[in-house]
Amino acid sequence: MTNAKFAKLFDQVELHDGIKLQNRIVLAPMTHSSSNPDLSVSDAELSYYERRTGKLGLAITAVAHVMPGGIGFQNQFAAFGEENLPGLTKLAASLKKGGAKAVLQIFHAGIQGPRNLVPNGDVVGPSEIELKGGSKSRELTNEEIESIVSDFGRATSLAIRAGFDGVEIHGANGYLIQQFFSGWSNRREDKWGGSVEKRLTFPLAVVDEVQRVAAEQAKTPFIVGYRFSPEEPEEEGLTMDHTFALLKALAAKNLSYLHVSLMEYNSKPRRGGDLNRTRLEQIVEVSGSVPVIGVGSVHTPEQAVEAIELGAAMVALGRELIVEPDWVEKVEAGQEADIARTISKDDQERLVIPAPLWGMILGVPGWFPVVEAETAE
């Protein structure tokens, strides 16, 4: 039986258009680089996702590339080309088996695209920017920008045909959509850049195109979410005040939800807004009636409840659902004391983790709480 203090995690959530989630718990999108070399969905990915989405409210995939020039990660599935429809269809079915709504995160890396993965090494962005290693990104032409907007629409069409319940527009973590909104990476003086309002032109054009395709092609209400990062470290980069302008513009678009990308769910701003209150609280206030997903170092049910109490309608778990695929089931059954907090080097098969992701887990010190097998909890 669920512990009363965690009961609110299992409230049903209603998004717009009457779309209902069976609870407030979300699988956070996490890159796993475990797709086939041709960027199709692999069997290992299907097993990995199915293992940890048993009783979730919402399951958001890792990034799906909307075009070859936007590739950001090796062996990470594509949402372009008819050849990828069968794999995406299997992926949507795997995510939905336990009653979760399945959402495909659609993405273009922009200036963060690795030169060795992008066709002809042609790394593009809003402006010519000096990249690590001394090379520069190429500034996109007006025609190319409009073509990329259409690519997001085509990816949405593919998601609808594959049976996904929705898409999440990845406007966070310094990728192309955020690059257009940021004064650090967008130095244009045409309609796509300049003032804060003009720098919103590309993000809002993507939203409009995704919603247009969903309205035309989805036979049932279709989720359109938007992920964003609230601040950037660069002097000319985004502040909380810029983010409030973005959120007000997005709130007017009748989106299904907004998803804030944070390292810690209870962190406070560095620049802009009220420095004494959490970012999450302020984001929820500005977002109005649009439900917000909170994320960032949520491991325990106590932390998940705290994120809800800060105003989040839903709370996303990333690393925790890798370490403990049965997190939701254990909290619901009142067995939260049995939730695993660490991972051992012998756990790959038991936790159904694809080999490339397992290599990252063991190869990045401090990313996961890896312990010796005999002391694993």
CA angle 165, 290, 178 (to 5 degrees): 80
Is residue 332 within 8 Å of 24, Cβ to Cβ? no
Read off the pTM. Answer: 0.96
| Domain of residue 373, residue span | 343-377
Q: According to the model, what pLDDT value does residue 132 have?
A: 81
Domain check: are 347 and 335 in the same one?
A: no
Note whether 221 and 350 are same-domain residues.
no
Do residue 308 and residue 365 come from a single domain? no
Q: Are 148 and 66 in contact (CB under 8 A)?
A: yes
Helix pair 240-251, 279-287: axis angle to 10 deg:
30
- Our count of domains for the chain comes to 2
Verify that 206 and 239 share a domain, yes or no: yes
For all residues of the chain together, what is the average pLDDT?
95
Distance CA 331, CA 315 (A): 14
Burial class (CB in 10 A: 0-12, 13-18, 19+), 318: middle
The residues of the chain scoring below 70 in pLDDT are: 374-377
Q: What is the DSSP string of 46-74?
A: HHHHHHT-TT-SEEEEEEEESSGGG--ST
Sequence letter at residue 54: G
- Specify whether 245 is located in the same domain as 146: yes
Note whether 322 and 252 are same-domain residues.
Answer: yes
- Does residue 353 sit in the same domain as residue 329? no
Q: Supply the CATH number for residue 195's domain.
A: 3.20.20.70
Q: 31 and 64 share a domain? A: yes
Classify residue 78 by burial, with Cβ atoms within 10 Å: 0-12, 13-18, 19+: buried
Query: Do 127 and 193 belong to one domain?
Result: yes
Chain mean position to CA 342: 24
For the chain, count helices (H), then strands (E): 13, 14
Tokens of 47: 């097993």
Instruction: Write the single-letter amino acid at 17.
Output: D
Tens digit of each residue's pLDDT (9 = 90 or more) over 181-228: 999 999 999 999 999 999 999 999 999 999 999 999 999 999 999 999
Report helix, strand or coil for 2.
Answer: coil
Q: Give me the residue label for tokens 């949507």.
A: 92
Both tokens assigned to 208? 């409009």
Burial of 179 by CB count in 10 Å (0-12 exposed, 13-18 middle, 19+ buried)? buried
Give the residue numbers marked as catalytic: 175
pLDDT at 295 (0 to 100): 87
Same domain assignment for residues 323 and 370: no
Q: Residue with structure tokens 């069968």? A: 86
336 and 371 share a domain?
A: no
Residues 314 and 373 in one domain: no
Question: What pLDDT score does 374 carry?
Answer: 59
Q: Are 137 and 123 in contact (CB under 8 A)?
A: yes
Tokens of 314: 């839903």
Q: Which of 232, 219, 85 is nearest to 159 (CA)?
A: 85
In angstroms and rounded to an integer, the radius of gyration of the C-alpha atoms of the chain is: 20
Nearby residues of 21 by Cβ (< 8 Å), 6 or more positions away: 12, 13, 14, 15, 57, 58, 100, 101, 314
